[in-house]
Structure 1
Amino acid sequence: MRNVRTLLMLLVAALAGLAAVVLASRWMVQQSADSTVKVAVATADINLGQRLAPEFARLVEWPRESLPPGAMTDLKSIDGRVTKASVMRGEPILEAKLTPAGTKGGLSAVIAEGKRAITVRVNDVVGVAGFALPGSFVDIIVNTQKDAARTDAGQPEQSISKIVLEKILVLAVAQEVNRDETKPKVVNAVTLEVSPEEAEKLDLARSVGSLSLVLRNQIDPRPVDTAGATKRSLLNEPVLQATAPAAPLARAVQIVRMVTEKKHGNCIGVISGMQQDKECF
C-alpha cells in the first residue's frame, strides 16, 4: 500500500513538474515574440535607383526596442519600389530610402522634388581629379570675358573667373550613381542636381566661357559672395583713374570798338582873360 501511495505521489510530482516546464516555455516564447518583430533586410547590396523585388530581401527577427523608424515588415510592400539611397547587405530596408510607390527606376527617381538634372562635360582637371563623386557637393566657376560696359573707363576688356553656383549636388558621374564608393573616378561627364533657375545659369555659363568644379565640404552651408578674380586683381595692379578731358581754352575775344571821329564844322577862337580856347559847331 505504501508503495502504491509513493508511486502515486511521484507521478503527481512528475506531472506537476512537466506542466510547469510547459507553462514556463510558453511564457518565454510569448515574451520573446512580444520583444521582437520581423523586419525586411537586404539580401545583397542594392544600388541607388534600383527597382526592388521580394527576392531582394528577407524577414528577420529584430528587437522591438531598437526597431528603426520606417522599417518594412512585409516583403510585398517593397515589391516594385525604387531605392533613392544605397542599401547594404543585412541593412533594414527603410521607407525613407525608397521613392514613392509607382515611381519608375533610374536616375529620374532620385531627383528631389522641384529639382532638375543637368550634365556638364569635364576632364581630369575640371572634375577635381575624379573626386567629384555622386553625393558630394561642388561650386561652379566660370571663366569668361568681362563685358566692355563693366570695365573701367579707358581699360581694355579682360578675363574674369567667378563662382556662379554654390553647393550643387553631384547625382552621377558618367553613367554611375552609386554613392558608396570613395575611390576617385576620372570621367568625361558629371550630372548635377539643380533648380530650374540654376539650370538656366549653368547652361548660359558653359556657353559664354569654360567651367570648373570646386569640391566643397558636405556640411558647410555658408554661402560666399565674391567679386570675381581678374588679371588686375590677381597681379594686384592699381586701378587707373580715368582723367577728365581738358576743357577747351577760352578764346580771348578782343572787342574792337569802332569809334567814329566826329567831324566838326565851323570853329572859332575864344579868348577869356589869359586863356585861349576853341569852340567848334
Structure 2
Amino acid sequence: MPIRTIATLSVAILLGLIAVLAAQFWLGRQRQADQQSAALAGTVPVVVASQPIGRGMALTPALLKVVRYPQGSVPPGAMSSIEQATVGGQRLVLRPLASNEPVLPGKITVPGGRVNLSAAMTQGMRGVTFRSNDVAGVAGFVLPGDRVDVLLTRDVGGPAGTDAGKMNVVTQVLAENIKVLGVDQVSDDTAEAPVVAKAITLEMTPDQAQAISLAQAVGNVSLALRQVADEEPVTRQVTTVADLGGYRSFATTPVSYSPRAYASRAAAPRAPSGPEVKVTRGVETKSYTVAR
C-alpha cells in the first residue's frame, strides 16, 4: 500500500478519535448542566452567615454567603444577595447568628442603626417595665427571650380585714405568651444565669401596656414562666377564692320572724325573778319574790 494512502488513513482515524472524544466531552458537560438546572429548579438564593457572627458585630461580605433554598421553605424577609444585606450603610447584628443561619431583617439593624433595645423590638409593639422581686420574677429564672404570662391579683371589693372580704380576692390573666425583652439592664437573650431582678421589661401591644401599667397600681403583678415551646392559650382567665375549694362560708343564718308569735310573747305576763322572802304574821306565813 502506498505511503500516501497509509498517511491519509491515519489522519482520518486520528480525526475520528478526536471527534468522538469531543462529542463525549460535550455530552458530559451538557448532562452536568442539565443536572444542575434540575437541582436549581424550584429553589431561590438566600443569604446566610458563612460563620458564627456574634451580637453587635458588623455585617461584611466576608461573613456572608448565598445558598439555595427550596422555594417553599424560604424564611419571610430573607435576602437574595449579599449586596442587599450590606447596601445603604453598616448593619449590626442584634442576635447571634449561627453558621448557615439565614440573615433576616429582625436579626440585624437598619443601615446605620445601633444595637439597642428598641431596634430589637417587633414592629408595632411596646416595651413596658414593672417592678419585680424573687416571687414576681419566678426566682430569677425569667431571662431575656423567655415567654411568660402576666397575672394580676387584686381585691374586687368587700369588707376589708375580714375573712368574708378575702372571698373577693381574684387572680386574672392580663396577657399571655409575652416576650421578655430585658431583665434589669440586660437585654442579651443569650444570658443563661438566673438573677433576681428589680425590674423586668416585656414586649406588649399598646392595649396590654395600658393594662399592666394600671394593674401595678391596683394589685400585685406576677409572671408565670412558659415552657419554651408552649404557645397554648390559658383556659381559665379568672380564678376566685371559691374556685380553690374547701373555703367555709361566712354568711349568717337567716332568722325567721313571725309578728303573731312575737305579739303573743309580749302579751304574756312576765314572771318575777329574784330572791324569795318569807314573812310570818302570827300563824300565817307568806312568800314574796323580790324583783331585781
- Aligning the two structures, in what range does the TM-score lie when normalised by the shorter sequence? 0.5 to 0.7
**Counterpart amino acid of 2:12?**
M
Choose which of 182, 186, 199 in structure 1 pairs with 2:195: 186
Choose which of 74, 93, 96 in structure 1 pairs with 2:81: 74
Unaligned runs of 5+ in 2: 264-292
Equivalence map 1:1-281=2 (5 Å): 1=3, 2-28=5-31, 30-31=33-34, 34=37, 35-36=39-40, 38-46=45-53, 53-55=59-61, 57-62=63-68, 68-69=74-75, 71-79=78-86, 80=90, 87-94=97-104, 105-144=115-154, 146=155, 149-151=157-159, 157-158=165-166, 160=169, 162-167=171-176, 168-179=178-189, 183=192, 185-188=194-197, 189-217=199-227, 218-229=230-241, 236-241=247-252
Deviations 1:117-136 (A, max 9, x none): 11223234322234323343
Q: What's the C-alpha RMSD, in Å, of the aligned pairs?
A: 4.2
The alpha-carbon distance between structure 1 residues 185 and 20, as it changes in their structure 2 partners (threshold 3 A), is farther
Aligned length: 244
**2:196 and 2:27 mapped to 1: Cα distance?**
64
**Counterpart amino acid of 2:27?**
A
- Find the counterpart in structure 1 of residue 279 from structure 2: none
State which structure, 1 or 2, has the greater radius of gyration over its C-alpha atoms.
Answer: 1
Question: Retained in 2: the 8 A contact 1:133–1:173?
Answer: yes
Question: Retained in 2: the 8 A contact 1:163–1:226?
Answer: yes
Deviations 1:146-194 (A, max 9, x none): 25x5449x8665483512413122223344445466x452241321112
What's the secondary structure of 1:237's corresponding residue?
Answer: coil
What's the secondary structure of 1:141's corresponding residue?
Answer: strand
Percent sequence identity is: 28
**Counterpart amino acid of 1:236?**
Y
What's the secondary structure of 1:123's corresponding residue?
Answer: coil
**Counterpart amino acid of 1:201?**
A
What's the secondary structure of 1:185's corresponding residue?
Answer: coil
Deviation at 1:116, TM superposition (A): 0.9
What's the secondary structure of 2:238's corresponding residue?
Answer: coil
**1:47 and 1:160 mapped to 2: Cα distance?**
48
Deviates more, 1:32-41 or 1:219-228: 32-41
Unaligned runs of 5+ in 1: 251-281
Question: Retained in 2: the 8 A contact 1:129–1:184?
Answer: no
